[in-house]
Amino acid sequence: MADFALGVGSIYGIKIELNALFLLLSLLILYLSTYLFMIWVLLFVCVLVHELVHSITSKWNGVTVKKIVLYPLGGGSIIDTTGLKPETEFRISIVGPIASLLLAMLFGIANMFAPAGIVRTTLQLLFMLNIFLGAFNLLPWMPLDGGRALRSYLQEKRSFLDATRLAVRASNVITVLFVAGTIAYAFLAPGFSFTYREFIVLFDVVIAFIIYSGAQSEMQSAVIKENIADLYARDAATKNYTVVKSDMRVEELYRKLLKGSAHIVLFKMGGKIKMLSNALLQKTPKAKLAGLSVGDLGADIPSVADNLPLYDAIEKMKLEESGIAVVTKRGRLFGVLLMPHIESIVALHMSQKHKQTNK
């Protein structure tokens, strides 16, 4: 359920999705207070602007944008990082927090002209929230914008792995300061009730933990990227699939599957390689199914060239949210990538590397 997201349309050709927990929390807030809900919506319009600035800058720099997702704790622009140059990543990262600070300025100015009352209070609140949004994302805090910007800057004179290592180290310092600061503030500042104090500390510790985990995961990815730089999509490809014709009748397909030759069924249609979709098979009414052909039951899957670095192939599969991809060699089917199999290959490859360096 945490993976579920509701598509709500697209802006400037960029799909916008609302994460399930975000929706749930929004409903809860609406139930608690209409004013709080209005602030919540306005805040997330600001978050959306922040993300749109990331995404539009990506597009301008020729980077494919998959979508923007809004989570309870902020937004995310899902972009294709394959072959992303450090200077491009720097530009994409830095424009988001700058946009938030500009928004804050606008709200600050508007606030000066607004009459006292709920409008001015709201403008002041939005001013503060956008200052926060901008400032937090300027801190060198991986995997937030500032952390990414720092890493791409460090890459000027360092490898990706070394730059990531330094940026993650800086992040961890900030995480420690953030938690220590929260605890000090909550317990030394006067006038907080016990429950409120507990709540701030808990909330900030959760945020710190999420950011810390994100930084560790960036570090892990960098280590893997470095270690499998000599592996290509073809190395992890398996040959365990059957290719059939797209006009094969379902009856014939059934007889073929009963023979147990393969459980991954591929076919070519309209110049693209597609996969027999188990989900479609389940969903189609049985009476209708009998009259169909394999071509009616296909799912699109990502396709990568055999000489694409394996790391980029993994990133592409993650981007497309697919556990499977086809590998082509000079336009012809070469093999199939399966995420668990890739993971096994990567683990084994890294163990062999380790052995060599220890010799």
Q: List residues near its own copies by CB under 8 A.
A: 1-2, 235-240, 250-251, 253-254, 257-258, 260-263, 276, 278, 281-282, 284, 286-287, 289-290, 335, 338, 340-341, 343-345, 347-355, 358
Q: Which is nearer to its own copies, 107 or 241 (CB)?
A: 241
Distance, CA of 152 to chain centre:
18
Choose between 123 and 313: whose C-beta lies nearer to its own copies. Answer: 313
3-class SS of residue 264 = coil
SS3 183: helix
Instruction: List, in sequence order, the alpha helices (H) in the chain.
Output: 20-32, 34-60, 86-113, 118-136, 145-154, 160-188, 194-227, 233-236, 250-258, 278-283, 286-289, 310-319, 339-358
Nearer to its own copies, 188 or 287 (CB): 287
Nearer to its own copies, 98 or 257 (CB): 257
Q: Which residues pair with 337 in a beta bridge?
A: 325
Q: CA nearest 68: which of 44, 89, 94, 36?
A: 44
Least distance in Å: CB of 276 to its own copies? 7
Cis amide leading into 340 (omega within 30): no
CA distance linking residue 347 with residue 187, whole number of Å: 45
Dihedral in degrees, nearest 10, Cα atoms 108, 114, 117, 118: -60
Cβ count near 6 (within 10 Å)? 12
**Residues 251/291, Cβ–Cβ less than 8 Å:** no
In the complex, minimum distance from the CB of residue 359 to its own copies, in angstroms, rounded to a whole number: 11
Residue (272 or 283) nearer to its own copies, CB: 283
Residue closer to its own copies (CB basis): 84 or 200: 200
Q: How far is the CB of 222 from its own copies (least distance, A)?
A: 15
The CB-of-284 to its own copies minimum distance in angstroms stands at 8
Q: How far is the CB of 314 from its own copies (least distance, A)?
A: 14
3-class DSSP state for residue 272? strand
Instruction: Please report how close the Cβ of residue 326 comes to its own copies at its closest, in angstroms.
Output: 13
Rounded to a whole number of angstroms, the minimum distance from the CB of residue 253 to its own copies is: 7
Between 69 and 337, whose beta carbon lies closer to its own copies? 337
